[in-house]
C-alpha cells in the first residue's frame, strides 16, 4: 500500500514499545471510534481506555496501563498524546510547493529570495526584503520593505508582514494574520487624537506559530517580541511592545494590552484579557475568560470568570456582588461590636 508505514518504522522514528505487531501497515491517523484496519488511533487518559474494546483501529497508541487491555497491535508510551502528534505529523507533512516565483507575483529587484523558496500568485515582496531557503510565501501575501524571513517558514495565503519586521526559521503564519501593524499609540490634544509614530518592529523567533486573523502590533519605540516556540491561536490581539516568553501557548480571542510581559511556558485560555504594563511570571496558567489586571509574580493557575448559571440565579448573584463592599463594611462593624461586648464580659 503506497504512502503507508509499518509500526516498526514508526517506533524506529519515535521510540515506544511495540506489542503484538502483526505486520499491519498504517495509512493515516483517525479517531478511535471511527478508525479502520489501516488506521492508527490513541488513548491518552486512563478513563477512556474502555473505548479500545470496540475500536476497529489497525493499531493503537496507549499508556502503560493499557498494555494488557487489548490484543490489537499497539505502541506503549508514557505520553500517548505527544506520540500521536508526532505520528500525525509524519502522515500530514506541511505543504511544500515547487521552488520558484509565480509569474503574477511582484518581487522588488532589490529583494533577496532564496532559489529554493516558493512565492505564490499575487504575492508582493518589497525592497530589501529577504526570504530564506525553502520558505513558502502563499498567494496574495504582502511582505514589506526590509522584512527578514528565515528558512523553512510557511506563510499561508493573505498574510501581511509590515516593513522591517523579523521572522525566524520554521515559523508558520496562518491566513489573514497581520504582523507589524501600528500599535494603538495616540496623544490627546484638546479632545482630538494625535497619532504617535510606531517606530519599533515585531520580532518572531524560531518555531513560532501564529493563527488565522491574529494581529501583532509593532513596538512604539522598542520591539514587540514573540520568543521561540510560542504558539498563538486564531483571533488574538497582541499590542505594541508586548513580550511573550518562549514556549508559551495562548488560545483564541485573547487580548494583550501594550507593554505587557508574559513569561516562558505559560498557558493562557481563550478570551482572557491581559492589562498593559504588567508582568506575568514563567509557568503561569490563566483560565479562559479571566481578566488579569495586575502582575502575577509566581507560577500557578489564576481564574476570575464565574461559571454560568440560570439567568435568574445569575441576576441575584450579580446583585450580591455589587454590594460586597457594603457587606464587608457591615461585617467589620459587627466584629467590632462583638469585640466590645466580649471585652465588657471579661
Kindly state whether residues 194 and 159 are assigned to the same domain. Answer: yes
Taking the CB of residue 343, how many other CB atoms lie within 10 A of it?
Answer: 8
Do 327 and 260 fall within a single domain? no
Residues 230 and 321 in one domain: no
Any catalytic annotation for residue 240? yes
Residue 322, pLDDT score: 86
Distance CA 272, CA 303 (A): 10
Look at residue 121 in the predicted model and tell me its pLDDT.
98
Q: Which of 57, 73, 91 is the last residue of a domain?
A: 91
CA 238/CA 333 separation, integer angstroms: 45
Same domain for 43 and 140?
Answer: no
- CATH, residue 146: 2.160.10.10
The residue range of the domain holding 289 is 100-302
> Is the per-residue pLDDT at 2 higher than 70?
no
Grid coordinates given for 50? 474502555
**How much is the pLDDT for 257?**
98
Using alpha carbons, list the distances in angstroms from residue 283 to 230, 232, 255, 265. 13, 16, 19, 5
Q: Which of 38, 110, 240, 277 is catalytic?
A: 240
Indicate whether 160 and 260 sit together in one domain. Answer: yes
What's the rounded Cα separation, in Å, for the pair 290 and 269? 8
Q: What is the per-residue DSSP string for 256-311?
A: E-TT-EE-TT-EE-TT-EE-TT-EE-TTEEE-TT-EE-S-B-S-EEE--PPPP--H
Q: Which three cell numbers stand for residue 57?
A: 483501529
Query: Is 264 found in the same domain as 209?
Result: yes
Helix residue ranges, H only, the chain:
7-14, 80-91, 311-322, 324-345
End-to-end CA distance of the chain: 91
Are 37 and 169 found together in one domain? no
Scan for cell 513596538, then name that residue.
219
Examine the domain organization and report whether 29 and 132 are in the same domain: no
Do 124 and 79 sit in the same domain of this protein?
A: no
pTM as predicted: 0.90
Asked if 58 and 40 touch (Cβ cutoff 8 Å), the reply is: yes
Q: Which three cell numbers stand for residue 65?
A: 496501563
- Let me know whether 236 and 321 are in one domain: no
pLDDT tens-digit profile of 75-114? Answer: 999 999 999 999 999 999 887 899 999 999 999 999 999 9
* Structural domain total, the chain: 3
Instruction: Answer whether 220's CB lies under 8 Å from 237's CB.
Output: no
- Per residue in 228-252, pLDDT (tens digit) is 999 999 999 999 999 999 999 999 9
Amino acid at each position: 500500500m503506497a504512502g503507508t508505514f509499518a509500526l516498526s518504522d514508526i517506533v524506529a522514528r519515535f521510540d515506544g514499545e511495540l506489542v503484538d505487531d502483526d505486520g499491519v501497515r498504517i495509512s493515516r491517523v483517525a479517531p478511535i471510534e471511527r478508525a479502520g484496519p489501516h488506521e492508527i488511533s490513541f488513548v491518552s487518559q486512563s478513563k477512556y481506555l474502555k473505548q479500545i474494546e470496540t475500536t476497529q483501529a489497525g493499531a493503537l497508541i496507549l499508556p502503560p496501563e493499557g498494555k494488557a487491555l487489548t490484543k490489537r497491535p499497539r505502541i506503549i508510551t508514557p505520553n500517548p498524546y505527544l506520540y500521536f502528534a508526532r505520528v500525525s505529523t509524519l502522515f500530514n507533512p506541511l505543504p511544500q510547493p515547487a521552488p520558484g516565483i509565480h509569474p503574477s507575483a511582484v518581487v522588488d529587484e532589490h529583494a533577496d529570495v532564496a532559489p529554493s523558496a516558493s512565492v505564490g500568485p499575487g504575492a508582493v515582496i518589497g525592497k530589501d526584503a529577504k526570504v530564506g531557503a525553502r520558505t513558502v510565501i502563499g498567494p496574495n501575501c504582502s511582505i514589506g520593505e526590509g522584512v527578514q524571513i528565515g528558512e523553512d517558514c510557511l506563510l499561508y495565503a493573505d498574510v501581511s508582514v509590515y516593513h522591517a519586521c523579523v521572522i525566524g526559521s520554521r515559523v508558520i503564519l496562518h491566513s489573514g494574520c497581520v504582523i507589524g501593524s501600528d500599535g494603538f499609540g495616540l496623544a490627546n490634544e484638546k479632545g482630538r487624537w494625535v497619532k504617535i509614530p510606531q517606530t519599533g518592529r515585531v520580532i518572531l523567533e524560531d518555531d513560532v506559530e501564529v493563527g488565522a486573523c491574529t494581529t501583532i502590533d509593532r513596538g512604539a519605540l522598542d520591539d514587540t517580541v514573540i520568543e521561540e516556540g510560542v504558539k498563538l491561536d486564531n483571533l488574538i490581539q497582541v499590542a505594541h511592545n508586548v513580550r511573550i516568553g518562549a514556549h508559551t501557548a495562548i488560545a483564541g480571542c485573547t487580548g494583550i494590552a501594550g507593554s505587557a510581559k508574559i513569561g516562558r511556558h505559560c498557558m493562557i485560555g481563550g478570551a482572557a484579557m491581559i492589562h498593559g504594563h504588567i508582568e506575568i511570571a514563567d509557568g503561569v496558567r490563566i483560565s479562559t475568560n479571566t481578566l488579569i489586571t495586575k502582575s502575577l509574580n509566581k507560577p500557578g493557575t489564576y481564574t476570575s470568570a464565574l461559571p454560568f448559571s440560570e439567568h435568574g440565579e445569575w441576576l441575584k448573584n450579580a446583585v450580591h456582588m455589587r454590594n460586597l463592599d457594603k457587606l464587608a463594611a457591615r461585617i467589620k462593624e459587627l466584629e467590632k461590636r462583638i469585640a466590645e461586648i466580649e471585652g465588657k464580659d471579661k
